[in-house]
Amino acid sequence: MTAARTTRTTPPAEDLRLAVAARARRSDLVRTAVEAITRSAGPRDPADLAALTATVTAAVDVGLDAVFDGRCAPPAWRLLLGEVGAAERRAGRGLEVVESATRVAARAVWHHLIVLARRLRVSPTATVAVVDALFAFTDTVCEAARDGHRAAAGSTDPGRAELLALLLAPAPVPDLTARAAEAGWPLPDRVTALVADTPFRVDPARLPPGALTDPDRAGTCLLVPADQPIPEAPSTRRGIRFAAGPPVPTADAHRSAHYARTLLDLVDRGTLPTRRLTRADDHLLTLLAAADDGLLPWVRSATLAPLAALSPGRRAKLLTTLALWLRHDGDVREVAQRVGLHPQTVRYRLQQLRDLLGDSALEGEQRFLLRLALVTAPRAR
């Protein structure tokens, strides 16, 4: 996408005054943008800062032409931005840093231009048109970086796709370190598998650094280094549910994927609530129980059978109270606050449960079995 200037209905004199003033303050615009980026991303070493300043300077020059003269970004400039995106891809990163820096710099320049426009008494209509053109140019910058990011897939991603398939298979991966180096993937110590319930194409800009994917084909699984945040939406496609397995050594990535698929199955069965992203860390007890799900119906029947004869309303009240009491380690006041009842009412319900389930039901092993039965019980749809 190129930056197309919107139709301007403002007097040319206003355009000219603001354009001349902005170009006269070119160094101020560059400094403002660089300072905004370094404040956001943190301090940089001198060589990195010099490279950043050179890139921002070129961006300001091209941007002023795009904003005030409606010129398209020249091919050489798009190639430069494409190389920035390609460098991020080769390093195993998405475009979060590049796009964030672009937005931060654009906001800083925007504020600078607004102040300048007020000082020159440029009309609001002309100012809005300039700001609109500025953000159109920002889109051009991001799109050029994305083009380079996608193009860089050609040299590394076939190897990465093969490596991903090997890691998701149960068999050990021979020469894992060498294979990762050949694929250009920085090998992490531990990874988390992110599995989808429907094949999808990843959006590289939504991935954390070091994610291992197959961007050229729709798939259902990707790997994320355990020290990186799990993306809740690695695809722009809506309606997909994801599950993140537990972090495991990279050589055992298939185990994390297995548990992630188990989570999705538990969501389908109603054992877990439906969410865009279900995390293993939040449901370890349920995962543990699912390892032998044939035994669970018996556990639920044996522990909760005395409540079956109650009316649905009374049973629901007692089970809600019991679940909260177990979750909060027997803190009656906390349970009362959660359900909006007097603590004495909670104690009365707990006594009802003891009468129904037996005096020892809320102690020791029986208490654990109750928690297990409640955690793994199918949820009402």
> What does the alpha-carbon distance between residue 82 and residue 104 come to, in Å, rounded to a whole number?
19
Beta bridge partner(s), residue 194: 222, 244
How does DSSP assign 122-137, residue by residue?
A: --HHHHHHHHHHHHHH
Q: Tokens for 107? A: 């906001």
Domains (ranges, CATH) in the chain? 12-151 (1.10.490), 187-290 (no CATH), 296-376 (1.10.10.2840)
> What does the alpha-carbon distance between residue 124 and residue 171 come to, in Å, rounded to a whole number?
65
Q: Closest by alpha carbon to 264, among 213, 316, 221, 328?
A: 221
The distance of Cα 191 from the centroid of its chain, to the nearest Å, equals 15
pTM score above 0.85 = no
Q: Which residues of the chain have pLDDT under 70?
A: 1-15, 41-45, 90-94, 153-158, 215-217, 292-295, 378-381
> What does the alpha-carbon distance between residue 299 and residue 303 come to, in Å, rounded to a whole number?
6
The distance of Cα 179 from the centroid of its chain, to the nearest Å, equals 27
CB 164, CB 217: distance < 8 Å: no
Burial of 163: CB neighbours in 10 Å, binned 0-12, 13-18, 19+: buried
Locate the DSSP E strands across the chain. 190-200, 219-225, 242-244, 248-249, 277-279
| Model pLDDT, residue 90 | 66
- HEC sequence for 324-374: HHHHCCCCHHHHHHHHCCCHHHHHHHHHHHHHHHCCCCCCHHHHHHHHHHH
| Model pLDDT, residue 6 | 40
| CA angle at 137 for the pair 207 and 54, rounded to the nearest 5° | 80
Locate the DSSP E strands across 75-218. 190-200
> What does the alpha-carbon distance between residue 146 and residue 342 come to, in Å, rounded to a whole number?
58
Q: Cα separations (Å) of 21 from 13, 57, 133, 264? A: 12, 17, 17, 58
> What does the alpha-carbon distance between residue 320 and residue 314 come to, in Å, rounded to a whole number?
10
